[in-house]
Amino acid sequence: MEVRNRTPYLLGCSSVATSSADMDAVRNYTVETFIAQFIREHRPFDVVVREDFTSGRNKRATQTIFSAWAAADRALSAYGYRAEDLKPALSPPSVKKYVTGSGKAEKPEVAESVRKYLRLADGYKWRTGYDDADACAVALAYLLRENMIDEIGGVAA
């Protein structure tokens, strides 16, 4: 995402899904290489942010998230980047609140607000599961919190 004159512009957005049938090493390699390719194609970046995560619905869910984070960190490091340690962290409810006005918004609501912030066409197709829209929401929440972009229609917290 790029900001010009306090307006965010989407330069690139994607996500990758892995299969639970694959071993963790394969899943982590998939994430790492996907992110490395994305970085190579879209660099340079001024800042890299991610949503806070403390624990999943169970031990295994938590393990897979932190494994994916480690894979992302390896890809970022290879290109001289790191995910910022944001203080305060951007929790899932705070991201939703910044972008939609409600900390309890569902994924389709978040995706629609992201679409509006980025001035994407009506009916813009997000990937199944909305992971790409969620990533954009985290970036937008950071930009809103840091007062780098303007809220739209009183949406931001």
Phi/psi for 99 (5° steps) reads -85, -35
Residue found by looking up tokens 């409600």 in the block: 102
Mean pLDDT, the chain, whole residue set: 95
Give pTM, 2 decimals.
Answer: 0.93
d(CA 36, CA 78): 8
* pLDDT of the residue at 152: 86
CATH of 2-145, one of 3.40.1110.10, 1.10.1050.10, 3.40.190.10, 3.30.420.10: 3.30.420.10
Q: Delimit the domains of the chain by residue range.
A: 2-145
pLDDT in tens, 85-132: 999 999 999 999 999 999 999 999 999 999 999 999 998 999 988 999
pLDDT in tens, 41-62: 999 999 999 999 988 899 999 9
> How far is C-alpha 82 from the geometric centre of its chain's CA atoms?
14
C-alpha dist (Å) from residue 73 to 30, 34, 66, 127, 130: 13, 12, 10, 23, 22
